[in-house]
Structure 1
Amino acid sequence: MRLLRIVPDNTRFRFVRFRRFSFPFSALVSLATAILLLTAGLHFGIDFTGGTLIELQARNGQGNAAQVREIAHGFGVGEVEVQEFGSEGGVSLRVPVQPGGEQAQGAVVQKARAAFDKDYEFRRVETVGPRVSGELVQSGTLGVVLSILAVMAYLWFRFELQFAIGAIIGTMHDIVLTIGFFLITRIEFNMTSIAAILTIVGYSLNETVVVFDRTRELLRRYKSMPVEELLDLSVNSTLSRTAMTATTTALSLLALVLFGGDAIRDFAVVMLFGVIVCTYSAVFISSPSLIYLGVKASNRVAAEADQGAVKKPAARTGPAGAAP
């Protein structure tokens, strides 16, 4: 019985030549991400900013965000952010942190219930104080930084220096583009987003390590092959596995996006984007970067020759210099 092949075994597509387009493209996107991050900033969720989040669902299925905004502004609690969300009739209110602690935040919820309980169902009420939000910011940032450092340490011991740097470039590239996705789509950045980024880091590392393992294996096998051809061969030989992994993961995430509900939709959308970016970077960013990092088959040959010379015992000679 013949097994299903997504990618034919004899595929010899020249991926590395596209580095002349992928590198400038990724550089421009990364620069645009940095500019947007400094100017617009992320749309931080209540986990990081503090305050009260109230999600309403219209009982008659037709929400009126403008009317809700007008009523909420009359609460006297500062600037209230009101927007539609999810399915038809969904409206969310985001109230900033109130002076007076938990009692003041609770009073906001009571005002909202008195004003909207007749026409709207309260689907979610979440309150986070400024102290808790500050701790969450520190914990989330520390978690991301420590995970990146752990990945770097693993790559340093797992591969030679050039491979480790190439994998780090690919991982950082995926993180930057994911942040850019948050900036462009204005998806709320909260603790769930931190979990999505950490998951993307792991997926990116997995995709890159698979290709680099094959590259290192081929360096030992084809010692005279030009490095560009060898990198193309390593990508093509792992392409079936890469396509299968990306396809199955993307289909699972697509099901969550379509049928998972509002609670998990943002996470699934970010992860779906992450799978696409990680697959792209493993093929068009990490692998071609080895060319500029000095990975050459000739270096491998020289290193193995030096090791062989050290292991080979010196010939023994007699007193007059003749062999015994």
Structure 2
Amino acid sequence: MRLLKIVPDNTNIGFVRVRHIAFAITLVLTIAAIALVVTRGLNMGVDFAGGVSIEEKFTSPPPLDEVRSTVNALGLGEATLQQLGGPNNVTIRLPLPESTAPDAVDKMVEQVKGALEAKFRDAQFSNYSTVSGKVSDELVWRGGLAVLLAIIGIAIFSWLRYEWQFGVSTAVAIVHDVVMTLGFFALTQMVFDLNIVAAVLTIIGYSINDKMVIDDRIRENMRKYRRMGMRELIDQSVNETLPRTVMTSVTIMLALGALLIWGGHVLQGFTAAMMLGIVVGTYSSVYVSSSLLITLGLKPGVREDRAEAAAAKEKAERMTPRAGR
């Protein structure tokens, strides 16, 4: 088992010592990511930009890669495929046509229908529908609201569970993770759809799990080593949890690597977002979130939990002699 250890035991890395460099790098990357989102924008998928949804039925499960390449060869935009209601039913989503003519959508559907019938003899057109801009705007609003509420809820939980400094540092680190993911999609212009929103929410969940492990160890050591300085205490806490952090990240990256290679085109954006989120989330947990506690003024001697305080008070009352005895 020793050969499987990625991080050796009893590491003594000075993470806090380089916190100013880490803060500077984080700030620069965050500003660059925001600038990319503002200047280049996100390549919104059909879910957010609106589009046409075409349903095709086949007598046997079709090869999705061939279906996708056939539709993409028409030059109508990048097609998104889903098998809904069974492996023989394929839903093809395309962007709305640039033409504003009343029959523009009908012509697009006829093109797709003709190309698929020529390529696949068992292809049968079922129906089609359009997603309007109003519905797309609602999806953008609801997706952004879901991410925002997740960040706020996590920050409040950290505040109540630990100290307010933990809540602020966790919120800053998670916002950094989300902004970096958005900047990556603005840079690569990969399609940003509801699958990517799901990936972002998953990244938030992973990041908070990683940060909670480190925060728990920091608070535990604050009670155990009340006279130890915060720099030494945080370094020790992060080093103690480092094997778990690295091993968890490497394990997830192996699974995501398999999805990236063999998962197909549909999962490519989701997998890329998750892989970036794991790397960025691990970095922010180790170098940003924990070291930020010192900048926020966290001091040794953390307050006791309410349950512990109540137990201590009850114990003191039992040990105090009552009057008249």
Query: TM-score under structure 2 normalisation?
Result: 0.76
Cα distance in 2 for partners of 1:270, 1:136 equals: 19
1:198 to 2:235 alignment: no
1:157 to 2:160 alignment: yes
Deviations 1:43-98 (A, max 9, x none): 111111112378x9669x89996xx44xxxxxxxxxx5469xxxxxxxx9644376
1:72 corresponding residue in structure 2: none
* Equivalent pair of 1:97/1:130 in contact (CA under 8 Å): no
SS in 2 for 1:52: strand
SS in 2 for 1:6: coil
Deviations 1:251-289 (A, max 9, x none): 001100000111111101110110111100000100110
1:13 to 2:22 alignment: no
Shift of 1:132: 2.8
Cα distance in 2 for partners of 1:82, 1:213 equals: 46
Unaligned stretches of 5+ residues in structure 2: 55-63, 80-92
1:217 corresponding residue in structure 2: 220
Letter in 1 for 2:244: R
* Equivalent pair of 1:50/1:132 in contact (CA under 8 Å): yes
Letter in 2 for 1:273: L
5 Å-filtered alignment, 1:225-304, equals: 225-297=228-300, 299-300=301-302
Cα distance in 2 for partners of 1:30, 1:135 equals: 27
Cα distance in 2 for partners of 1:81, 1:126 equals: 17
Shift of 1:204: 0.7
Cα distance in 1 for partners of 2:65, 2:224 equals: 63
1:25 corresponding residue in structure 2: 25
2:58 corresponding residue in structure 1: none
Letter in 2 for 1:37: V
Unaligned stretches of 5+ residues in structure 1: 70-79, 84-91, 317-324
5 Å-filtered alignment, 1:108-187, equals: 108-114=108-114, 118=118, 127-187=130-190
Q: Aligned pairs, how many?
A: 289
Task: Quickly say closer, same or farther: Cα 1:177–1:201, change in 2 above 3 A.
Answer: same
Cα distance in 2 for partners of 1:194, 1:143 equals: 9
Cα distance in 1 for partners of 2:223, 2:244 equals: 22
Root-mean-square deviation over aligned CA pairs: 3.8
Task: Quickly say closer, same or farther: Cα 1:302–1:267, change in 2 above 3 A.
Answer: closer
Query: TM-score under structure 1 normalisation?
Result: 0.76
Letter in 1 for 2:171: I
Task: Quickly say closer, same or farther: Cα 1:180–1:193, change in 2 above 3 A.
Answer: same
SS in 1 for 2:192: coil
Shift of 1:172: 1.1
1:107 corresponding residue in structure 2: 107
